[in-house]
Amino acid sequence: AFIAGMVYWLLLILIVGICVAGTGILAILIEIKVIELYKKNCWDVITLLMILTSAAVIIYFGEVIKKALSINLLFFWLILQGIYLTIRRYISQDTD
């Protein structure tokens, strides 16, 4: 019973470790792709102002946003940045 318990915990730690490592690697790859898109499409003062303004609004109105949407504020900020990047990419494709 002792050896079976040890094997169970070792396998559990191994599986959880693999899942955590896989998630971390996936997050890093997504982050690298997003940074490339920012550098390619919208690496300018407008983007910097958008990032700072959206962060300031979320910080200032954080409680109101959480009551209205019940969403993680960091996740909400990332969604806003994704929407902004999509709009900028669409606009830059139209002007090319």
**What percent of the chain lies above the pLDDT cut of 70?**
96
DSSP string for residues in 42-57 = --SHHHHHHHHHHHHH
Question: Which amino acid is present at 66?
Answer: K
Crossing angle of helices 62-69 and 45-60, in 10° steps, is 80
Average pLDDT over residues 52-61: 90
Whole-number pLDDT of residue 84: 87
Q: What is the pLDDT of residues 7-44, one digit of tens each?
A: 999 999 999 999 999 999 999 999 898 788 777 767 78
**43 Rama sector, left if φ>0, alpha if ψ -120 to 50, beta otherwise:** beta
Q: What is the pLDDT of residues 71-80, one digit of tens each?
A: 888 898 889 8
Beta carbons of 41 and 88 less than 8 angstroms apart: yes
Closest CA to 88 of 32, 45, 27, 59: 45
Q: What is the pTM of this model?
A: 0.57
Question: Which amino acid is present at 78?
Answer: L
Give me the residue spans of the domains in the chain: 1-39, 42-96
